[in-house]
Structure 1
Amino acid sequence: MFFNEVSIYGSWQAFERLVCRYLAHKGFSGVRLVGQTRDKGADVIAHKGGKRWLIQVKHWKTRIGVDVVDTTLESLRYYRADVPVIVALNGFQEKAVRQQQALMAQGIPLQLWSADQLVKNTSHLSDDYPYGCPSEVFERRDYQENAIQLLVHEYHRPEANRALVVMATGLGKSHVTFEFLRRILLGEEVRVLFLAHTNDLVYQLERSFWPYLKTSQETLVWNGYERPGADELERVPFVFACLNTVSSYVQNGHQLPPFDVVFVDECHHVGDDGMYADILYAADAGRPGGPFLVGATATPWRPDETDLTGVFGNPIVSIDLVKGLKSGFLSNVDYRMFTDNIDWNALRDLKGDNFSPRKINRTLFISEWDDAVVLELKKAWFEQQVPRAIVFCGTVDHAITMRDRINALGFCRAEAIYSRTMGGMVLEGYERNRILCDFNDGAIQVVCAVDIFNEGIDVPDVNIIVFQRVTHSRRIFIQQLGRGLRLSPGKDKVVVLDFVSDIRRFAAGISLKDSLGEDGGPLPGRPVRVRLPYKVSFCKVGGEDPKTETFLRQWLDDVAAIEEANEDASVLKFPPSFNKR
């Protein structure tokens, strides 16, 4: 069993995750690991019986005393939890047990769980998946099933040794790859090395894989914080590893343990440097006689034009954003690109024949219009039955400003969330985790985010996205947009409000609209999911703005070149018909 006398004596981080996985097998939902430095006395938040449970996990050599009980009770108020739990590796002092009894008599349901007790409880669990068989629990979609079968077939084909999965955010590429692994595990024992380029992604991968594992199947994390020994790396069949750590291990002359499958998540990062190449070479992955190599990505494009097919072969499945929308695999999109901040008078004063995006952006756009943004958000808010929104901002100051302006109108509750340290401002880990928990539960309905929801962060499904952040990365733009594209019960559409002041974003909007076409319907043979079509429109506050779209189409003649242009490239020519507007 995964929770056993050996696994509990790993790292304290691994012990916390064992508790998370245990909770999943015991019927808890919304299990989230929140423990960090200065975490206010909470390590795990979970839900069961309509209550929020707060779990403090102590991997101490000594028994737990009343001071930990006091800290845990204090954290209840901060996290707005109902049931406090303390999990201890080596049990509790008698004073702590007596305090628990006194608190229970007062109606405070403090739970004290020892590691020995959890090991015993786990041993009595059936060897099954935590939520039931994934092929029955998760909604089965034809395109996913087709991709899974193709992967299984490729794995068993003698001359095949690699596969590439390209699926836009929201299409379930994780489900496809994990279900593929689960199915081959039904017929044979398989050892898998999961690789990702950040620790956040490593931890997310492990958590996401748990529903596909039976109680008897163990996992292991290998990164800069958790360094298992060679015997552990060989014993545990599923190793989730961070790129830097494995690369250093290989470069220092160590030999990797044998694996049957090497899985690279967000494999568009493979071309960033030579670390992936070193690891794949050391593992002999993707070559005859070596481990089967699988790469998965939602965004296969790279600025350096690295060809992923050279590493992973041609895609087994490839469904991009446009194909996903046209096929009805993703939520309907009502994309509104606002043009109110175009300063036509300034544009008339431009002199010369060629202009860079930097010069156009400085001249063309009026930057301050946050009040209009909030009013448009409020209008979109009442179009959705159960609204939930992410506002992508460019700076921490701007995120805080947007939070305050949204809250001032009183139609929802908003919070600002950003990286732990950014621009001299600090958002402590416990604050960020509390916000994510409240956003997941619906206590917070809007988050104003700065560089936090691109990769590696679990967020609930949203149906309103507001862009106020300029990104010149097509990959990041698609990742952010994908946060609202997942299908879910009762969701008719995602409303996208794009207020970005960058000429390249207008080019991207035109490109997306043209790619989707004007018919607004699904592909032939696909049933109409709902009557609302996907739509890309150019708007002013209060209505559509086809006149500006027509002008922009004439001006942005080579849309692809402009969308991908850098700040100083001279790609825009002054439209000769401009003065006729």
Structure 2
Amino acid sequence: MSDLRLITSNLIQDLTKLSSDATSIYWVTAFAMKSGVKLVLPSLKEALSRNAELKILVGDYLYITQPQALELLLQELPGAEIRLHKSSGISFHPKAYLFRSENNNHLIVGSSNLSASALQKGIEWSLLAPAAVSGPVFDEAMDEFMKLFYSSSTISLNKETLATYASAYEQANMTVPLSQKWSEQEEQEVMFGPSSSESTVNEQEELYVTETAQLIPRPAQVLALEALQETMHDEYDKALVVLATGLGKTYLAAFFAKQFKRVLFVAHREEILNQAKTSFLHVHPTKTAGLYNAIEKNKDADFVFASILTLSQKYHLEQFHPEAFDLIVIDEFHHAAAPSYERVIDFFKPKFLLGITATPERLDNKDVFSICDGNVAIRIHFIDAIQRNWLAPFHYYGVYDDTDYSQIRWIGNGYDEEELARVQLREEMAEKILQAWIQRKQTRTIAFCSTVKQANFLSHYFAQSGYRSTALSGTTPRNERMNARKQLESGKIDIIFTVDLFNEGVDIPTVDTLLFVRPTESIAVFTQQIGRGLRLAEGKSHCVIIDLIGNYRNADTKLSVFTPEPTDKFELKTVQTSLPKLCSVNLETEIIDLVKEMARKAVSHKQRLIYEYFTLKEEMGSRPTYLDYHLKSGIIATNVKKEFGSYFGMLKEAGELNEQELEAYKLYKDWLEEVERTAMTKSYKMVLLSYILSRGVVRWHEPVKAKDAAPYFVDYLTAKEYRKKIDVIDTDLKKATSLIERMPMTKWSGSSKGKITFDNGEFALNFDVVDSVNEIVYEWTKEICGFRLHWYFEKKGEKMP
């Protein structure tokens, strides 16, 4: 198979042959049928038996894919990674089969989906290209596959997501005939073209002499470096650093890298990699640096800057030794919840893993704290940075937008582009935006839009009104984008309208006005965009933020970004009291009324907690533990005990407990709530409970004496440096025994309202545990105990400036 070849029938023969010696198999297909899956199963099972890497992406477009086909893939290929592309009505037609082997690589692209007809006798055309013919196109195809495979439009296939799809499939095919759905969608695309998703582009940040000449850390970086040194001393081997946009995250990583020999820097965009490479070489001019991506494969440099799309592929990971790097830096760490990052993190064994980001927003429900074990070395919110004069103050103006967004269809992660355009591309809307801007603007403005159409429309309208404006998007040539930036900096134009162009990695310090004319769909992106205007610059006293607010999703919570402490509920008074001097938040009366009304109509907090539980369960494919829920759900987990008494009280209300578990909850509800709610000024109560549980499911509820618990107590609190520092304990066992008696045993028995006793030196549960539910109560108690210990040390260890 050394030549380019057209395949017009029996594609199954080529798929089988190429699978026989492949080390990596990546397939993407718009539709999958049970008949087609049965044909390919034997060769795929054989490949898995050889430990080949197998990834399959199947589309749900128009609900043509059969649930039985997905079920077969899930059951018969347990070693494969299978994901489902959620099209949300947008056409999805790719059919590509990629094979990497030790001798050659092959790419098949054509018209054949996974069905018996398409793979055998149907009229289908496919082109088979060996790597010798396709050249760099093969690597490009692998990267494009990975980008699509782990995009926000895909979900992992597991029993939970399969059940959800099967239900939707049944409903869709019962209510609307397939031919009708097909014809309506295809007709729309023929007439208007497919809906295009927004493109996100980063410019490579220009280096400013004032920032790089001295090559010494800025004050914020000094604080972060000190915090990282402390966290390493405390024997952590991974940490997250949260630095507001504009405080120099990349240079922080470069300064931190001085104590490591070899460094791997991982990011999701080429622009970020090139910028980071330049920054690191400024700090380390004698070191070697190289890229590892689809085009360049430099794996031997001191500093390797790798694209996650390339590096996360099994073949490329295996080009490295797991201990090849002393330090691994994950940039824009809020992207790291994707399985591609987890694969890289799980593969390498560095001395230290550093995650850096400006926006690890729990409110976006893609939490990254679990990847660094909840260890936040330091968090400097942009509010903290403004208070320290590291960033510019802001004057925020919320302008009422009377558009009824409830009438616009929500698709996947955003509003329907065409429906949104109909309400946005109106002259009366443009005039309102123009007047709001004229009334409050300063000298240089970036305006964030929903679509390219809106950016062009508003730019034209502003130009007609006598203002110097331009519109930029991902399709704008790079030289035009760079020229527009320079014109804005020099004052030759007044405003740039953009679509997600200045979110990450780009700064124009002289920008002093931000204009938001789009619904806020992501709190994290909103935070990043605010950061674009907060850079300090000569002659700049503050940044004006003009934001149109209507009844769109997140409107009632978005302003919580102005509070340094994470919260999922907006209160204007709380925001205003947390503002630094010279900052202000001004909302029109209609907005205050709108937010109150949205909060009144919103899903109750209880329902939100349950909804996020089910979302996480679907992602994991099984019931999350309490600690899973805390680390991965995007929810502030301490709210669970406020709303439900305990995590298992929430599971009861969610209908997640079986008959035996309901009996256990009914009998031991008070005990579970006691473990959840007992006060913890120190970790001692939960360490004692951890010892009690360490005796196993049979003996855990038996009485315990302090002298028996003392060795476990001392070992636990001295096992990690951070525990020693947070809760100091004398290692002498007699003194530890006395401490246990005086503190957790006496205090907990006194506050437990009779649930615990401490008499004659024995600490005991003041209730019996029924044998039939003993194991359930034991495991539940263990989950709560584990969560509370993690939460305690996480909060005590987190450093704020």
Would you say same fold, with TM above 0.5?
Answer: yes
TM bin (shorter chain) = 0.5 to 0.7
Q: Pick from 356, 369, 373: which aligns with 1:308?
A: 369
Alignment partner, residue 200 of structure 1: 271
1:360-397 CA distances to partner (integer Å, 9 max, x unpaired)? Answer: xx99x97541112122222333xx3xx21111111112
The reply to whether residue 549 of structure 1 matches residue 592 of structure 2 is yes
Q: Distance in 1 between matches of 2:554 and 2:303?
A: 42
Could you tell me whether the CA contact under 8 Å between 1:334 and 1:495 is conserved in 2? yes
Would you say 1:338 and 2:399 are equivalent positions? yes
Aligned to 1:296, the other structure's residue is in SS state strand
SS at 1:240 equivalent: strand
Give the match for residue 532 of structure 2: 483
Partner of 1:118: none
| Distance of 1:268 and 1:149 partners within structure 2 | 23
- Give the direction of change, closer, same or farther, for the CA distance of 1:140–1:451 in structure 2 (3 Å limit): closer
2:221 maps to 1:144 = yes
Unpaired runs of 5+ residues, structure 1, are 1-128, 286-290, 351-356, 421-426, 523-527, 540-545, 570-581
Q: Is residue 556 of structure 2 the alignment partner of residue 507 of structure 1?
A: yes
The 5 Å alignment of 1:254-333 reads: 254-256=319-321, 258-273=324-339, 275-285=340-350, 291-301=351-361, 303-311=364-372, 313-325=374-386, 328-333=389-394
- Structure whose alpha-carbon radius of gyration is higher: 2
Once the two structures are superposed, what CA deviation does each residue of 1:127-147 show, in whole Å capped at 9, x if it has no partner? xx9959969466843x43221
Q: What amino acid sits opposite 2:525 in the alignment?
A: I
CA distance in 1, matches of 2:503, 2:513: 16
Aligned-partner Cα distance in 1 for 2:576–2:549 = 24
Percent of residue pairs bearing the same amino acid type: 26
CA contact (8 A) 1:191 1:238 kept: yes
Structure 2 residue 521 is matched with structure 1 residue 472: yes
Is the contact between residue 445 and residue 514 of structure 2 (CA under 8 Å) also seen in structure 1? Answer: yes
Once residues 245 and 602 of structure 2 are traced to their aligned partners in structure 1, the CA distance between those partners, rounded to angstroms, is 24
Residue 75 of structure 1 is matched in structure 2 by none
| Pairing 1:521-560 to 2, within 5 Å after superposition | 522=580, 533-539=582-588, 546=589, 548-550=591-593, 552-557=595-600
Q: Which amino acid aligns with 2:398?
A: M
Matching residue of 1:237: 302
Name the amino acid aligned to 1:296: I
Alpha-carbon distance in structure 2 between the residues aligned to 1:130 and 1:391: 24
- Matched to 1:177, the amino acid is A
Task: Give secondary structure in 1 for the equivalent of 2:576.
Answer: coil
2:493 equivalent in structure 1: 444
Aligned to 1:389: 445
| Aligned twin of 2:651 | none
Whether the 8 Å contact between 2:469 and 2:495 is mirrored in structure 1 is yes
User: Conserved in 2, the CA contact under 8 Å of 1:134 and 1:179?
Assistant: no
Q: Does 1:181 align with 2:249?
A: no
After superposition, where does 1:55-70 map in structure 2 within 5 Å?
none
User: Residue 399 of structure 1 corresponds to which residue in structure 2?
Assistant: 455
More helix as a share of residues: 2
- Return the alpha-carbon distance in structure 1 between the equivalents of residues 306 and 240 of structure 2: 19
Decide whether the 8 Å contact of 1:390 with 1:465 is kept in 2. Answer: yes
The residue aligned with 1:168 is 244
CA distance in 2, matches of 1:407, 1:245: 43
**Contact 2:242/2:378 (CA < 8 Å) preserved in 1?**
yes
Please tell me the residue identity of whatever aligns with 2:292.
W
- Partner-residue secondary structure (3-state), 1:370: helix
Cα contact 2:399–2:547 (8 A) shared by 1: yes
RMSD: 3.9
Q: How far, CA to CA, are the matches of 1:519 and 1:198 in structure 2?
A: 38
Q: Segments of 4+ in structure 1 off by > 6 A?
A: 558-562
Q: Distance in 2 between matches of 1:391 and 1:306?
A: 28
Q: Distance in 1 between matches of 2:315 and 2:377?
A: 29
Deviations 1:392-423 (A, max 9, x none): 11111211121122223334x22111012xxx
Match of 1:3 in 2: none
- Cα distance in 2 for residues equivalent to 1:208 and 1:418: 26
- Partner of 1:553, secondary structure, is helix
Q: Counterpart amino acid of 1:399?
A: A
Alpha-carbon distance between aligned partners in 2 of 1:467 and 1:132, rounded to the nearest angstrom: 30
After alignment, is 241-250 or 260-269 more displaced?
241-250
Count of residue pairs brought into register by the alignment: 381
Counterpart Cα distance in 1 of 2:399 and 2:334: 31
Structure 1 residue 372 corresponds to structure 2 residue 451: no
In 1, distance between residues paired with 2:464 and 2:603? Answer: 40
Which structure has more relative contact order (CA 8 Å, sep 6+)? It is 1
3-state SS of paired residue (2:265)? strand
